[in-house]
Structure 1
Amino acid sequence: MSFASLGLSAPLLQACAAAGYVEPTPVQVEVIPPLLEGRDLLGLAPTGSGKTAAFALPLLQRLIAGRQHAYRRVRVLVLAPTRELAAQVGEVFQRLGTSCPRPLKVAIVYGGVSINPQMMALRGGADVVVATPGRLLDLLDHNALRLDAVEALVLDEADRLLDFGFAAERERVLAALPERRQNLLFSATFAPDVQALADTLLRDAVRIEVAALPEAVPDIEQRAIAVDEPRRTELLRQLANQDDWRRVLVFVATRHASENVAQKLASRGVRAAALHGEMSQGARSTVLQDFKDGAIDMLVTTDLAARGIDIPALEVVVNYDLPRSPNDYVHRIGRTGRAGAKGLAVSLVSAATEAHFRLIEKRQGLALPREQVAGFEPTEAAPPASPGTGGIKGKRPSKKDKLRAAAAKAARAAD
């Protein structure tokens, strides 16, 4: 099948060719026609399946066909949960929009950097705004843009944006939008508990669920290694040395753990650095680029890097701390094994996290043997169950957990 057969206009066919898109991916084949018809849509597709172009192309066609105004009005709004994902989505719109008869203005806005340049960039309006929710609200508060002409709203990584952690920001953004609009929700995973909320946004929606083709399923070897919690850093260093790991993404639970583990690794001669959401955007961009360029061997990160970030030739993903959600396990390990390369995902499982990892295995249809590394055989026993911790292994509740608790408390008070 060709892009022309999907109903795209000549300028966008030129854009596809210029971008190197030879033929549409399965998700693009399924998604583009109903979006051209103006339908609401819920799209589930694997990471790396081409879903950004799947919604960008028909939305750009709408902008080309629409009436032009002297002052650009925001007609397409894309929300993303992280700065890095917002930047990547915005770049796709910019690249595909270069072939349009009239130059389209795409504004990419996110926090962590000064708001003033973004306000200046929005003078004269914009056709497309790709934003993180918090910075979008800041710009609305500064009267830097209006959303009353938005024709299409896209929630990328919709399961994250529909979570309690984004509830207050999401509701404020929705209140600023016109009631009549096209709503598009995209994600690689979609937990049942947010389906009801998604249904409130969608009207007569098309549901598209595209599984990865057998030849496109990432070639990721998954391993689970049993180890006592205090010895994880030492084991991680030994594994990297003995197996000659050169580009490793290490996931931890908190900002503090990110900095602590990176510091310990660096003190042992490993070229390691931390990445987390409380760093400035400049620092985040620098460390991520250093990792991509090979100046850093191990990037120790929170789930900030679990979605949307494309790191070429990423060899290994390590779950130093297990993800709180089984769905996040999919997003984490999906950072490796991309573009046909072989990947490795290693989970470090302690006695305290064994039960949680079994839950992850059950949800993902896995049954991984627990390996042991000589010299690191575990000796710890599982602690007694501790209800009400808000997550695994007695960690402090995350910001998201605190927001959930506050919402539940407010609901009880209202009853």
Structure 2
Amino acid sequence: MSLDKLKLSKPLVAAMTDAGFLTPKEIQAKTMSRILGGQDVIAVGPEGAGKTTTYVLATLMKLKYAFEEAPRALILVPDAEHVDHVLEQFKLLNRNSTFRILGIDSRGAVETQMNEITDGCDIIVAVPDRARALYLKLALNTNKIQLFIVDNAELIVKKGLQLPVVELANSAYKSQHVVFTEVLHEKLNHMISPFMKDSAATIEVDEIGEKQAEVYPQMLYQVPNFRTKLNLLTLLLSDVEVFDKVVVFVNTRLTAQTVYKNFNHSKEGEISIYRSLFFDDKGYDDIEDFKQNPESRVLIVANENLDALNIDGISFILHFELPEQKETLIQRIVRKDDDEAIAITFSTDIELIEVRKIEQAIGQRMELMELPDELKIADVAPKAKKKSKDDAEDEEERGAAFHEKKASNLKNYNYSAGMKAKMTYKNKKGLT
């Protein structure tokens, strides 16, 4: 497909060509006509899919002319680094400085930024909390915003910046809303549903790179919170027959203690900690001792200050938490010679972005597992407060941004705890 198919202006096509973009990305081909047509859009795609270039081009196309008093496009990004990145993209494609573009983040003084906005700008790229502060000081006029864009929405949710996004979006009530994200989950849907229109289109681009290495079978359990993770871990590992030798990775030694204490220790030494913080906890300083002891079934290991660990021969590699560096997890799941194991990952909504990066790196998706029927879902929501009339109206409007799962993600089974792992494990071993 050529760039002409995007229906861009000749100057923008020339700018794209000069920048080395000769063919449009899939996400650009699927979303550009909808954005230019005025539809609310939720675009989901991995890092490197071309999301930033997509909305930069769309913004430059939709605004058409420059030098209005009030800004006509507001782009919210999670941090100052992303502000700089977006400004660079605009600089690359905004030939002859046709539009006045202003970056707003915590590095500048509020008074200075107020003056810059008052002097006039067409496009603002900002972090949500600073943009909201300027809006409350009456410096940021949102009445003429035509295009309201939220980029890296999953990171904005992770940083807890939902409130300023919603407040600003609702203030720009005449605008078109476009959201770009790497993942779509319940918390993100909860943020965008109050302002996305019923007609919003959800466009997903599933770009998985080439398979980089042979890895163990990958299973993914998506849960709402940490406490439910604990419940799921206890439930799965209660199947002693299936989970005969397990290493459970967590991020800190304190978390290792929490996980350890959550188990019902029916057999002495069955569950232990690798290099425990406390002397009175059952533990090992050498993983080979754990491997050789038939009475020891589960070893909890903290990633904190962890040296290289030989986990060859362990039947189940379970990541209760995702390590800071995806490479840490990947090196554990790469198949070694004829060794057989199953890798299981627990993820909350907030951690899904890391899961996607791991999947991109290994070149395959983890198999999404149904949560067992007998799993207790922990409720960590704050105590309910009396709903106001506005709250009730908001709830009625929610759901507009929700969409059905892709066919590849739909599951029509719900095996009991451990059953799917047991089936996979037996298939790998050639058992009947």
- Determine if the TM-score, normalized by the shorter chain, exceeds 0.5: yes
Distance in structure 2 (CA, Å) of the matches to 1:412 and 1:60: 40
The 8 Å contact of residues 59 and 76 in structure 1, kept in 2 or not, is answered as yes
Q: 1:168-183 residue pairs with structure 2 within 5 A?
A: 168-177=163-172, 179-183=173-177
**1:94 aligned to which of 91, 96, 103:** 91
Q: 1:54-73 residue pairs with structure 2 within 5 A?
A: 54-63=54-63, 65-66=64-65, 68-69=66-67, 71-73=68-70
The 8 Å contact of residues 326 and 364 in structure 1, kept in 2 or not, is answered as no
Q: 1:80 to 1:52 in 2, by over 3 A?
A: same
Q: Is 138-147 or 35-44 further displaced after alignment?
A: 138-147
State whether structure 2 residue 254 is matched by structure 1 residue 184.
no
State the number of aligned residues: 291
Q: 1:200 to 1:145 in 2, by over 3 A?
A: closer
**1:332 aligned to which of 354, 365, 372:** 354
Q: 1:194 to 1:327 in 2, by over 3 A?
A: closer
Which residue of the partner structure matches residue 294 of structure 2? none
Distance in structure 1 (CA, Å) of the matches to 2:358 and 2:367: 22
Which residue of the partner structure matches residue 378 of structure 1? none
Q: 1:193 to 1:124 in 2, by over 3 A?
A: closer
Q: CA deviation at 1:24?
A: 0.7
**1:107 aligned to which of 102, 106, 111:** 102
Which residue of the partner structure matches residue 203 of structure 2? 208
Unaligned runs of 5+ in 2: 219-246, 250-272, 277-300, 311-319, 331-343, 371-375, 393-432
Which residue of the partner structure matches residue 258 of structure 2? none
Q: 1:104-253 residue pairs with structure 2 within 5 A?
A: 104-111=99-106, 114-159=109-154, 161=156, 165-177=160-172, 179-192=173-186, 195=189, 197-198=192-193, 200-212=195-207, 216=209, 219=212, 226=248, 228=273, 230=276, 232-233=302-303, 236-238=306-308
Which residue of the partner structure matches residue 46 of structure 1? 46
The alignment's TM-score, normalised by the length of structure 1, stands at 0.56
CA deviations on 1:257-309 (whole Å, 9 max, x unpaired) are: xxxxxxxxxxxxxxxxxxxxxxxxxxxxxxxxxxxxxxxxxxx96xxxxxxxx
Q: 1:2 to 1:387 in 2, by over 3 A?
A: closer
Q: When you count helix as a share of all residues, which structure comes out higher?
A: 1
Larger radius of gyration: 2
Distance in structure 1 (CA, Å) of the matches to 2:206 and 2:182: 10
Opposite residue 147 of structure 1, the aligned amino acid is T
Opposite residue 185 of structure 1, the aligned amino acid is V
Q: 1:164 to 1:154 in 2, by over 3 A?
A: same
Opposite residue 181 of structure 2, the aligned amino acid is S
Opposite residue 18 of structure 2, the aligned amino acid is A
Which residue of the partner structure matches residue 233 of structure 2? none
Unaligned runs of 5+ in 1: 241-250, 254-299, 302-313, 346-359, 366-384, 391-403
Q: CA deviation at 1:45?
A: 1.6
Q: 1:233 to 1:207 in 2, by over 3 A?
A: closer
Q: 1:318 to 1:121 in 2, by over 3 A?
A: farther
Which residue of the partner structure matches residue 8 of structure 1? 8
The 8 Å contact of residues 315 and 344 in structure 1, kept in 2 or not, is answered as no
Q: 1:279-298 residue pairs with structure 2 within 5 A?
A: none
The 8 Å contact of residues 42 and 184 in structure 1, kept in 2 or not, is answered as yes
Opposite residue 70 of structure 2, the aligned amino acid is R
Q: CA deviation at 1:166?
A: 3.7
Distance in structure 1 (CA, Å) of the matches to 2:108 and 2:308: 38
**1:316 aligned to which of 317, 323, 327:** 327
The alignment's TM-score, normalised by the length of structure 2, stands at 0.55
The 8 Å contact of residues 218 and 337 in structure 1, kept in 2 or not, is answered as no
Q: CA deviation at 1:153?
A: 0.7
What SS does structure 1 have at the residue aligned with 2:138? coil
Q: 1:29 to 1:362 in 2, by over 3 A?
A: closer
CA deviations on 1:302-357 (whole Å, 9 max, x unpaired) are: xxxxxxxxxxxx882559xx99854444422555787xxx6699xxxxxxxxxxxx
What SS does structure 1 have at the residue aligned with 2:164? helix
**1:81 aligned to which of 78, 83, 86:** 78
Q: CA deviation at 1:167?
A: 4.4
